[in-house]
A = this chain, B = another copy of it.
Amino acid sequence: MISIRDFSREELEYIFDVADEMESIYRSGTDVLRGKILASLFFEPSTRTRLSFETAMIKLGGGVVGFAEPDISSVKKGENLADTVRVVESYADVIVLRHPLEGAARLAAEYVNIPVINAGSGAEEHPTQALLDIYTIRRELGRVDSLNIGILGDLRYGRTVHSLCIGLTNYDVKLFLISPELLRLRREFLEEVKKKVEVVETDRLERVIDKLDVLYVTRIQKERFADLAEYEKVRGAYRVDLDILQRAKESLIVMHPLPRVEEIDPEVDYTPHARYFDQVRYGVLVRMSLLKLILSG
């Protein structure tokens, strides 16, 4: 479970079907994974992803060990990742790994005989986020095919964006990529996506807002701009508020991987468009589905 590229449409749909079944276990718990242990290895901080996996494991009756930041691990003593995961292999039945380096999860998986779930590595991949994003669309709109899906913000560096784009190429969707020039999807990646689905690029949300069924918002980080004046110029144009939503379809759903800073106005929370907190709950269901499929055979 390293890359969203490892999944066919059929596999995605199967994971989502099992996620649907997790709804009742989510409420009452089960002990189907009693005696199983998930190792939660976070070499970068991430409350949401870590707690989501841990919750999913506990709801299924399993246990959790791990660390939430690298300083408190023996990494401090200079141990390399290959050794760390080979040690942890003796403790756990599945490893959930978050790491700042590209390819860390794949490397880890090569060294151990237990499943490794990539919980974000480098800028490219965050596959379980993509799974829960697509599952959210399926749950909230009843289907993924034939939808107009806008992705807004930092398309160049955001790892959730990359995994989501690849995941969506399994469906018959139209993608609207909305970002400042500087933060557009990289060319070669864009070409790959374009081979599978129709893509429209724009630097103005207002030009496409009325066409969208889904608006997926991500943060634009100040640090990406060499020139701060440049940043100040664009930031307002990528903020979602009641104003811009007046031009949207009534059924538009607004999503966000969270945490948000100011790219979605808090007023939006109280509109029927907001789905970012539901997304969090769906994330637990999807991760329960994955853990159940991986660990209970």
Instruction: Give the interface of A toward B (CB within 8 A).
Output: 25, 27-31, 34-37, 39, 45-48, 51-52, 54-55, 58-59, 63, 65-69, 71-79, 82-84, 86-92, 258-261, 266, 277, 280-281, 283-284
For A28, list chain B residues within 8 Å (CB): 35
CB distance from A42 to the nearest CB of B (A): 8
For A27, list chain B residues within 8 Å (CB): 35
Residue pair A45, B29 in contact (C-beta under 8 Å)? no
Residue pair B51, A39 in contact (C-beta under 8 Å)? yes
Question: Which chain B residue lies CB-closest to A278?
Answer: B90
Residue pair A68, B74 in contact (C-beta under 8 Å)? no
A67 vs B181: C-alpha distance when bound (angstroms): 38
Given the interface contacts A29-B34, A37-B59, does A74 sit within 8 Å of B47 by beta carbon? yes
For A25, list chain B residues within 8 Å (CB): 35
Residue pair A68, B67 in contact (C-beta under 8 Å)? yes
Residue pair B51, A35 in contact (C-beta under 8 Å)? no
For A74, list chain B residues within 8 Å (CB): 45-48, 258-259
